[in-house]
Chains A and B, each alone.
Chain A
Amino acid sequence: MPSVAEFLAAEHRQCDDRFAAAEEAAHLADLTGCRIRFQQFQAAMNHHFHKEEDTLFPAFEQATGNTMGPTRVMRLEHQQICDTLAEMSSALTSGDLEEYLGQAETLLILTQQHNIKEEQILYPMCDEILGAAAQSMIQAMQDLPV
């Protein structure tokens, strides 16, 4: 079984691939293709946030007794990412691919600096704090309905 860090980092990579596919369609001026791929990307992102915010973060907060620390910043960044995703979505609704690409560039940096913090710092800490409970945590995240 993978660690929490490996499990969630792999999800980041899957989201990255969906991001790149939608962005490539926008670059090729394929509005329909971009809309379909963006929807898949946005759904994958939301599902991933859901796993973290409803399952992993509460466990971290309970174990460390700290709700105002790193998980609070991660939740704030999730909100920023969701706001930017909403901007991308409205660019696609109005068919403005240039606006979409500019927002996508912004989202990429925003998301990746967030992912670096999670993968380098928060996830390894979760693995250490959870210890043997890490496997049931992964199972609980997998069991979350889409």
Chain B
Amino acid sequence: MNPVGLSLEQAPPFDVPLRFFLTAPFFLVLAAMVLLWHGPELFASRWLPAPLALTHLLTLGFMAQVMIGALLQMLPVVIGVTVPRPQWIAALIHLPLTLGTLTLAGAFLLGSPLGFQIASGLLGLGFGVALIAFNLAVWRAPVTSGTVIAVRCALGGLLVTVTLGLLLGGFFGWGLSLPIVTITTLHAVWGLVGWTVLLVAGIADQVVPMFHITPAYPCWLSRGFAPLMAVMLALWSGLMLGNREIATQLAGVALALGIAVFAGTTLHLLNQRRRKIGDPVLAYWRISLISLLASAALWLATSFLPALMPWSTVEWLLGILLIVGFAGAVINGMLYKIVPFLAWFHLQAQLLGRAKVPHMKQLLPDAPVRRQGWAYLVALLLLLAAAVYPPVFTYPAALALGLAGGWLDVNLWSVWRIYRQALSKGLAAV
């Protein structure tokens, strides 16, 4: 424990996380446009360029943007260490990540090796800066809490995901010879489980009990979940690379069970919450966790009953449940807590009592949040339906996804607008 390096300073400047949060929803709209443009044939195979572009618009453009922006904001709070020069670091991550995602999606759609080369460089730079900055912070944490352990494991997951992604960039951009199917599967599972599930679990460990006033997670889950899952993922990867089919399947079952335990426990905690009043963000958590539980159940069911449905459909459903259901929903919900709170917080700090600061519900009322939440749920259900029966459901799913993403952006920009108005009015009143 080292009190010297400790900083409980409150927050980086507002624009540090906000630039990520306001960019991210555009990528939901772009993903919807790719789906609309390609129509039902997009679902023919997940190996086609269009679904690969779509997937990366969602995972890099939406998920990674918000996860990285939120980490820059939250590390001082949950870990007690600030990232140095946050505005520079944020710019050095945000610009290459945004441009790299657009270039990568373009490279898939146009089949351009040069596009893959540029995207690999940009994304390597953005994630490289993020990994170095976050690792320097989390390894200096003064206290090793459950969240610190989980964030360290998640950053390990991100490192593996990015490394495999760059290898795949080498395949598409420079013709590197690789076992492409295996590397792609590893890349996807490390990204979705090793980075995303572990990071969400680490943050949930703090955020669920505190913001929804529930009992705490059991200690063994809080401290043990992330390391156990990380070891199991490494084992699963090793077995897969060694072509041990049955053992790989068993390790996969263990991973799915672990995920189910986390999702089930969190849902149970939310049911025991002592804050009884309704909260639209609670609904987002439930959509997220039920999707996560459903993905684990689907994985287990098809492990034991492979004849249940075609494997290609299972892959689509797993992808949609994990990306749009689990990660997308919890990210969407968390944005509705973080953005209005930060707007209030920075107004408070800048106006210093010279003018009354609008509270969170004035910055973002419940009604538009609830309506956008319904649009998001409809989009998720239509996407799942489209994976099973593309001819009927693809276009409605694309429209709903575009609507939910656009609406999220409108809601977040409206917070920014009220923030600007309150700030200029407050400063003018002095």
Contacts and interface: CB of A to CB of B under 8 A. Distances in A.
Contacts of B353: 83
Contacts of B1: 124-125, 128
Contacts of A115: 210
Given A120-B80, A125-B142, A125-B143, A99 B211 contact: no
A113 interface: yes
Nearest to A83: B353
Contacts of A103: 359
B301 interface: no
A74 B345 CA distance: 15
Interface in B107-137: none
Interface stretch (A19-27, A36-44, A130-138): A19-27
Nearest to B359: A102
A125 B341 CA distance: 28
B372 interface: no
A108 B359 CA distance: 12
B344 A106 contact: yes
Nearest to B279: A105
A74 B362 CA distance: 27
B280 to A, nearest CB: 11
A141 B399 CA distance: 59
Contact of A69 (B6, B79, B360): B6
Contacts of A64: 3
B142 A106 contact: no
B77 interface: yes
Contact of A117 (B3, B80, B337): B80
A29 interface: no
> Looking at B274, B341, B359, which has the most chain A CB atoms within 10 Å of its CB?
B359
Chain B, interface residues (CB within 8 Å), range: 20 to 34
A108 B212 CA distance: 9
Contacts of B55: none
Contact of B8 (A74, A102, A105): A74
Contacts of B147: 120
Contacts of A24: 276-277
B12 to A, nearest CB: 14
23 contacts: A17-B274, A20-B275, A24-B276, A24-B277, A73-B9, A74-B8, A76-B10, A101-B361, A105-B359, A106-B359, A106-B360, A110-B341, A110-B345, A113-B77, A115-B210, A116-B78, A116-B206, A120-B143, A120-B206, A121-B8, A121-B142, A124-B145, A129-B3
Interface of B: 1, 3, 6-10, 77-80, 142-143, 145, 147, 206, 210-211, 213, 274-277, 337, 341, 344-345, 348, 353, 359-362
Interface of A: 16-17, 19-20, 23-24, 27, 64, 66, 69-70, 73-74, 76-77, 80, 83, 87, 98-99, 101-103, 105-106, 108-110, 112-113, 115-117, 120-122, 124-125, 128-129
Top 9 A-B pairs, shortest CB-CB distance: A102-B361, A102-B359, A112-B210, A121-B80, A70-B8, A73-B8, A27-B277, A109-B341, A20-B275
